[in-house]
Amino acid sequence: MTLLSMECAVCGVSAPLTCTRCRLVRYCNGEHQKQHWPKHKRCCKPFREEQDPALGRYLAATQDIQAKQIIFVEEPLVVGPKWFLTEGEKSATIVPCVGCFTPCRLGKHQCRNCHWPVCSVGCAHESLECSILSLGNAPGAKSDVRGQHDYFRHDALLVLKCLLLQRSQPERWKALLEMQSHEEERLGTELQLEAEQRIVSYLQQRFLRRLKSNTNKQNVLSDYEPELLHRLCGIIETNYMVIELATGVELSGLFRQACMMEHACQPNCYFQFDATTHRIAVRAGCDIKKGDHLKITYTNILWGTQMRQHHLRMTKHFSCRCPRCEDPTEYGSYVSAMRCLGDVSKTCDGLQLPVEPLNEQTQWKCDTCPMLVDAAYVTEVQTHMTEEVERLLAGSPTASEVELLLARLSQLLHPNHFHMFNLKHTLIQLYGHEPGLELVTLTDLQLGRKLRLCEELRNVCHRLDPHSIKLAIYVSVILIEIAHTLEEKARRLPAEAKLQLELAQSHLQQAEEVLEKVQDSVAGKKLNDRLQLDQFELDKLMLANNHSQTQTAV
């Protein structure tokens, strides 16, 4: 993906000059730059950094910004391997290349100097990093896999890469240390303990302590004490952005300006990453008004408020106070709402909602009867359900298995509850695709259910993320499944075929537009390929339908 044009914005020839203010447009000469300014000034660096005692530093729009416009492009301070590895990844035999992060097989190729895994003999990595890594005693390529995993810890490399900036890029080092680390809050927490074992003592024992005794390398770094390493861990955890490459590889990045963007559970910006230059482009996800803060989301917006808050407190050390978090109904989506069970004497069909959504200990109150329940009860029920839903979905369930759990949970949860959402989103992809449940074999009732579920899910997505900035994948799956259902309806009701097919076409077009935002992710690419096929099939269907109608007319 190329983010920026290399040609003059006026005449289109290859251009050596760049607008120094935004560095987003190029010109062949000063004359053309001057000529373009009246037009360009409306989108040149349309934001500024501001400071607020509660928010810290943030970015605010200084003029109206149009949806999709690139707001800024930025070089990274650091880009490195994935920060939190899953258990599977910790023991995988495919690991990221130390030079270019391409997945490579453990034991196949090694850097000649430090012996860390590389993708090919020719792939080099930064010489300073290599010289520090070469202080360790790397296990041989033939040694047992456990020993190799224990030694080659790619997540710790990210901290080393940060640390080396003090020598290689003093400017970036300075900017990095200005970032929030939440050191005090981390002291004595599980996070800090984990960082100690996973990163700090590992880097110290295997590599950094050996610097002291190595006369050639003694002066490479001036500070590499545990306190500094912990501070870097804090900075990474508070600020890092997850970067998903089109190859499926996940990287972590720290960006001075992008990391200043405020978090909100309904974002107005999103970013794209250029895998070659490692630059990031921040784009407007919708029209942004002058004065609005630029916002991205650091958590899963499909979770209910309690879960999002918990996740943000644990990883980013703050409580979100955005309008969604303060609203017990979460923009009328009811994704956290539980059904009221009434009391012994009387049943009730009201809904339990948190009285103070931002308070972890909040009571939940029924909107129809005086019933109150406490946070502990809700948390217990939720945790139990999370396990049940995750267990079911992990085992590739059939539609009827999903229906069963859905029926059981519906006794306790609002139909839009995020657990219900999850199950229903799985269900719409089973009806019409599961062997034995192909579209043509579905009963009219099942087809109707599929369509209704799609509409319900779409409504929830629209409330939580009206511009499909975070939920692009979910929304396009829904739109594609709606289109499939409408095509099948067209087949069943020839009289309505034209109308239904046109409707299906408009849904596929909407899906195409939504997918634009995620075109550089694996899931986005895969869906886009499928969409192309679907559009092709639909075109054929429409042609055939037109043909048969003209035939009947004749």
531 close to 480: Cβ distance less than 8 angstroms = yes
Largest CA distance in the chain: 95
Quick note: the x/- pattern for Zn ion over 424-453, rule CB under 5 A, is ------------------------------
Is 114 a residue that touches Zn ion (CB under 5 A)? yes
* Among 447, 448, 405, residue whose Cα is nearest residue 426: 405
Binder of Zn ion out of 265, 385, 454, 469 (CB under 5 A)? 265
All residues at 6 or more sequence positions from 429 whose CB lies less than 8 Å from its CB, including other chains: 477, 481
Exposed/middle/buried for residue 52 (C-beta within 10 Å: 0-12, 13-18, 19+): exposed
- Using the minimum distance from each CB to Zn ion, give the nearer residue, 115 or 230: 115
Binding region for Zn ion (CB under 5 A) out of 78-86, 369-377, 404-412, 452-460: 369-377
Q: How many CB atoms lie within 10 A of CB 134?
A: 17
491 close to 497: Cβ distance less than 8 angstroms = yes
Q: How far apart are CA 75 and CA 72, in angstroms?
A: 10
Orientation angle between helical segments 154-168 and 226-239, nearest 10 degrees: 110
Q: How far apart are CA 334 and CA 304, in angstroms?
A: 9
Is 11 a residue that touches Zn ion (CB under 5 A)? yes
- Using the minimum distance from each CB to Zn ion, give the nearer residue, 249 or 454: 249
Binding region for Zn ion (CB under 5 A) out of 209-217, 322-330, 409-417, 465-473: 322-330
446 close to 437: Cβ distance less than 8 angstroms = yes
Quick note: the x/- pattern for Zn ion over 13-32, rule CB under 5 A, is ------x-xx-----x---x
335 close to 302: Cβ distance less than 8 angstroms = yes
- CA quadruple 382, 387, 390, 395: dihedral positive or negative? negative
- Using the minimum distance from each CB to Zn ion, give the nearer residue, 28 or 59: 28
- Using the minimum distance from each CB to Zn ion, give the nearer residue, 305 or 510: 305
- Using the minimum distance from each CB to Zn ion, give the nearer residue, 330 or 488: 330
Quick note: the x/- pattern for Zn ion over 282-311, rule CB under 5 A, is ------------------------------
Is 8 a residue that touches Zn ion (CB under 5 A)? yes
- Using the minimum distance from each CB to Zn ion, give the nearer residue, 263 or 489: 263
Q: How far apart are CA 109 and CA 29, in angstroms?
A: 48
Binder of Zn ion out of 165, 258, 325, 508 (CB under 5 A)? 325
Binder of Zn ion out of 79, 340, 451, 453 (CB under 5 A)? 340
Token pair, residue 38, equals 């009246």
Q: How far apart are CA 72 and CA 59, in angstroms?
A: 11
- Using the minimum distance from each CB to Zn ion, give the nearer residue, 243 or 508: 243
Least Å distance between CB 358 and Zn ion? 9
Binder of Zn ion out of 130, 200, 261, 472 (CB under 5 A)? 130
* Among 199, 278, 202, 271, residue whose Cα is nearest residue 235: 199
The distance from CA 447 to its chain's CA centroid, rounded to whole angstroms, is 32
Least Å distance between CB 327 and Zn ion? 10
- Using the minimum distance from each CB to Zn ion, give the nearer residue, 177 or 412: 412
Binder of Zn ion out of 5, 66, 113, 189 (CB under 5 A)? 113
- Using the minimum distance from each CB to Zn ion, give the nearer residue, 118 or 399: 118
* Among 430, 426, 530, 546, residue whose Cα is nearest residue 474: 426
Binder of Zn ion out of 366, 475, 480, 490 (CB under 5 A)? 366
542 close to 508: Cβ distance less than 8 angstroms = no
Least Å distance between CB 16 and Zn ion? 10
Q: What Rg value do the Cα atoms of the chain yield, rounded?
A: 27
Q: How many CB atoms lie within 10 A of CB 368?
A: 11
Quick note: the x/- pattern for Zn ion over 49-88, rule CB under 5 A, is ----------------------------------------
Least Å distance between CB 185 and Zn ion? 19
- Using the minimum distance from each CB to Zn ion, give the nearer residue, 97 or 423: 97
Is 100 a residue that touches Zn ion (CB under 5 A)? yes
Backbone angles phi, psi at 383, to 5 degrees: -60, -45
* Among 201, 105, 127, 190, residue whose Cα is nearest residue 159: 201
Is 111 a residue that touches Zn ion (CB under 5 A)? yes
- CA quadruple 320, 326, 331, 337: dihedral positive or negative? positive
Binder of Zn ion out of 123, 393, 437, 523 (CB under 5 A)? 123
- Using the minimum distance from each CB to Zn ion, give the nearer residue, 19 or 511: 19
Which residues would be at the binding site for Zn ion (CB under 5 A)? 8, 10-11, 19, 21-22, 28, 32, 44, 97, 99-100, 102, 111, 113-114, 119, 123, 130, 265, 320, 322, 325, 340, 348, 350, 366, 368-369, 371
